Amino acid sequence: MRTFGTGDLLFILAAARWTVALSLIAFAGGAIGGLIVALSRTSDIAWLRRASAAFVQLFQGTPLLLQLFLIFFGAPVLGFDINPWIAAGVALVLNSSAFLGQIWRGCIEAIPRGQWEAAEALSLSYRHRMRDVILPQAVRIAIAPTVGYMVQIIKGTSLAAIIGFTEVTRAGQIINNATFQPLLVFSAVAVIYFALCWPLSLLAAAIERRHRRALAR
Amino acid sequence: MNYDFQFGAVFAAWPLLLEGTWKTIELSVLAMLGGLAVAIVCAWAKTAGPAPLRWLVNAYIELIRNTPFLVQLFFFFFALPAIGLRWSAHTAALTAMIVNLGAYATEIIRAGIEAIPKGQIEAGLALNLKAHQIFRFIVLKPALKAIYPALTSQFILLMLSSSVVSVISADDLTSVASNLQSQTFRSFEIYIVVALIYLALALSFQTVFRLVYRRTFHYPDRR
């Protein structure tokens, strides 16, 4: 048994890049999926609305841990080769697609009805109505909750540790098993997450405050 | 795909699954009650308490909301016993859940308190209502109505994230699934069934919360 030293701290710090990488993958994939979900939820086509609603309900109604397990243990059964990287990436992308889709759907629906009618009166096609009229306005409302949701994604990546993906939490577990100084180790882990998440939380709050002031004027 | 699904072993274990489901419900409800108690005290401290107390509550909220629940769980289960606090996995899990929910619920309740316009309280005074009547009808009920949706969805999130406590071998539905998995090797089938149980739990709680809302808060809003 050894004591917790600089080398151990560096090991945990180095693992933080995998937390960041996984978060970025989850956010990028979740943004694409979320846009599809949000557009489907607000679509005129009934089956598309129903299918996306079911997708959201499924991923918001079950634990992220179980989604991770289902993909990690289910993929080999279905004949796919899988490792913790892919399993964690896929689970987090699907999960954030559902949550971001739901958030952005609210932002799209918050655009006053008159804007939709005006776009329709100008006989803009669906594509132009969305791209040039609705989405640019919806994006402005969406920024604060989206930045806030990024904090949830970063925290969610910690669950990848459970299927053996070595990011910050797993690195902490490994070092703790070697040094047996859980107080130090998990404090260090918590500080790293805090350093990643807090600036985003502050940013989200600042954007929201500015937005509210702009509305109050 | 030529996989032979065998749900027999999973369904044969239904008493275990039922017990696990009950433990998850129990854990979530206890954590909800404890978390609400913590949150009410913290919300009071944050809105009306002295400055050092406000600062302390803010630090607590920021710390909990910006670190993963899994790390908080490890902290309570591994770190605190190392400095002399001995407790079971179950107690550590419940405490971690209470502390976690307390931080989120504090912010929700504070928002509810601040949502009551001062003019309404003054109107209550002008109508010669007694202090407890003002609190009950003008502050408490509208505040509860305002925060009810946020609070109940936070509860469902808590129930779902409680699956993580299986990692420290606290008893819940997911830990039953993990045990079954290591006995039968039918991991895919087990996790499908357990995920569906969680979905059913989330939907049932949603329905119950909606019914309670309709019965309790069904009166016209100011418009």
Measured between CB atoms, does B160 come within 8 Å of chain A?
A: yes
Is the CB of A78 less than 8 angstroms away from the CB of B195? no
Give the CATH number, domain containing residue A83. Answer: 1.10.3720.10
pLDDT tens digits for chain B (223 residues)? Answer: 567 777 877 788 888 999 999 999 999 999 999 999 999 899 888 888 889 999 999 999 999 999 999 999 999 999 888 888 888 999 999 999 999 999 999 999 988 888 888 888 888 889 998 888 887 788 778 888 889 999 999 999 999 999 999 999 888 999 989 888 888 888 888 999 999 999 999 999 999 999 999 888 876 665 4
Count of C-beta atoms within a 10 Å radius of residue A32 = 12
Chain A residues within 8 A of B6 when measuring between CB atoms = none
Cβ of B74 and A67 within 8 Å?
no
Q: Which of B24, B188, B193, B206 should we substitute to test contact with A (largest number of A Cβ atoms within 10 Å)? A: B188
The parent domain of residue A129 ranges over 6-216
Which helix (H) or strand (E) covers residue B193, if one does? helix B187-216
Record: contact A151-B65, CB cut-off 8 A: yes
The structural domain count of chain A equals 1
Residue B219 forms contact with A (CB below 8 Å): no
Contact (Cβ atoms closer than 8 angstroms) between residue B68 and residue A193: yes
Q: Where are the domains of chain B?
A: 25-216
Per the structure block, which two tokens stand in for A52? 């996306």
In a domain, A1, yes or no: no
Q: Among B71, B163, B203, select the one facing A169 at the smallest CB separation.
A: B71
The CATH number given to B25-216 is 1.10.3720.10
Sign of CA dihedral A147, A148, A154, A157: negative
Q: Does B198 touch chain A (CB under 8 A)?
A: yes
| A contacts of B83 (beta carbons < 8 Å) | 183
Q: Which amino acid is at A88?
A: A
Please tell me the distance from the alpha carbon of residue B189 to that of residue A14, in angstroms, as a whole number. 37
User: The pTM is what?
Assistant: 0.90
Give CA–CA dist A184/A8, Å, rounded.
11
Structure tokens at B215: 């019965």
Q: Match 């071998």 to its residue by tokens.
A: B169
- The sign one gets for the Cα dihedral B40, B41, B46, B47 is positive
B75 interaction partners in chain A (CB closer than 8 Å): 182, 186-187, 190
Q: Is residue A15 part of a domain?
A: yes
